[in-house]
Amino acid sequence: MRRTTRLRLVGALAAALVTAGLATGPGAQASPRQPTLAELAQRHGRYFGSATDNPELTDTAYTALLSREFDMITPGNGMKWYATEPQQGVFDWTNGDQIVNLARKHHQRVRAHTLVWHSQLPDWLTGREWTADELRAVLKRHIQTEVRHYRGKVYSWDVVNEAFNEDGTYRDTLWYRTLGPGYIADALRWSHQADPHAKLYLNDYNIEAVGPKSDAYYQLVKDLRARHVPLDGIGLQAHLALQYGYPATVEDNLRRFSRLGLDTALTEVDVRMLLPATEEKLAQQADWYRDLTSACLAVRRCVGITVWDYTDKYSWIPAVFPGEGAALPWDEQLRPKPACFAIRKALAGK
Ligand code: G3I
């Protein structure tokens, strides 16, 4: 073998060992492995999570990153009512269990989502009229069965999801119409009975900034606290869109909920844009991810951040907002975008 060829081979082997973190010996300069988002967040006593969904779990490149980079997982659909009680009294834990088991295998915790929502309900529930007594019994049974099933296996529950309108009035849902506003306190109490250790959250979108909708939560929290209803946190979903502007008061808003003695979390973060994505838009998106991350780190009781899946390959946005997308920190080929580097930098305090 010619000397130059041999030298090249030796050099390539050394580089491969360094990349793999396997280089040894006095001359070896193993570049340390880059810390994951989870590890960086843990330095602040926070978690960094991602939502995921069952169909994606056959994608091994996807699950490898999901299992490595994050320490909190949210099932995007698998624990919702249509999935868990498809027929009255018949419970199906297949999808939720699959995600919980995957998370446990990788020492990740689970933000469970969601018990009481107006969307993705099974037909048997929405297809007929219920008296208040009947519906209360149906709701209680659903909550207690599901929370008991996952007792000790999940960190928190989004107990009630999206209860308010934009103007701060109660959303006119099956629950509100039939049971009145008391369904929220009932749902929290039943959840607490079924798993006293799970953190119980109310969760909504467009409550990142101070405004009528987040004010409604602020009042509700005060009221629930005064009545000793079990409640641990408020989840700000943070489905943002570049064309609507950044919610500049997010840090103040997180702080005012903290002062009521609650945890807060950014629970479903994505930052969509009108397609095509340009370098400029991706840079602005990165700034927003950076600012959201810094806002959470600045408020003691903001316990963590979850992105609503981590790759554009599996984002819900294009199906619901045609012409929009590119909302997540990794692109469709699972390559990190500027947003990903910006989060990393914010968590590293650079
Ligand atoms: O299960 C059917 C499947 O049988 C069918 O082949 C397929 C065809 O489109 O649809 C499947 O259902 C889809 C379901 O997700 C499961 O994949 C629905 O069409 C689709 O609308 C549904 O979207 C979910 C959405 O909630 C429903 O509102 C998204 O995946 C999920 O990410 C999204 O999550 C919500 C949070 O729970 C609450 N906050 C807002 C957030 C985004 O909408």
What average pLDDT is seen over the chain? Answer: 93
pLDDT of residue 6: 46
pLDDT at residue 13 tops 80: no
pLDDT at residue 19 tops 90: no
In a mutational test of the pocket of ligand 1, which residue from 82, 92, 118, 120 has the highest number of ligand atoms less than 8 Å from its CB?
120
Catalytic residues: 162, 268
- pLDDT per residue as tens digits for the range 37-93: 999 999 999 999 999 999 999 999 999 999 999 999 999 999 999 999 999 999 999
Question: What is the crossing angle of helices 212-226 and 250-259, to 10°?
Answer: 10
Atom of ligand 1 nearest to the CA of 309: 32
Atom of ligand 1 nearest to the CA of 119: 28
pLDDT of residue 320: 98
**Pick from 109, 114, 108, 103: which is nearest to 79 by CA?**
114
Q: How confident is the model at residue 30 (pLDDT cuts 50, 70, 90)?
A: low
The token pair that represents 126 in the structure block: 């929405």
* Contacts with 69 (C-beta within 8 Å, 6 or more apart), sequence order: 36, 37, 38, 48, 50, 310
Spell out the domain ranges in the chain.
Answer: 38-348
Pick 9 or 282 by higher pLDDT: 282
pLDDT of residue 32: 78
**Segment 108-116 mean pLDDT:** 99
In a mutational test of the pocket of ligand 1, which residue from 267, 316, 328 has the highest number of ligand atoms less than 8 Å from its CB?
316
* Contacts with 162 (C-beta within 8 Å, 6 or more apart), sequence order: 117, 118, 119, 171, 203, 204, 205
User: Which residue is listed with tokens 């101070």?
Assistant: 210
Pick 13 or 91 by higher pLDDT: 91
pLDDT at residue 155 tops 80: yes
Say whether domain 38-348 belongs to CATH 3.40.50.9100: no
Instruction: For residues 151 and 20, give the distance between their C-alpha atoms in angstroms, rounded to a whole number.
Output: 39
- pLDDT per residue as tens digits for the range 271-328: 999 999 999 999 999 999 999 999 999 999 999 999 999 999 999 999 999 999 999 9
- pLDDT per residue as tens digits for the range 53-69: 999 999 999 999 999 99
- pLDDT per residue as tens digits for the range 212-238: 999 999 999 999 999 999 999 999 999
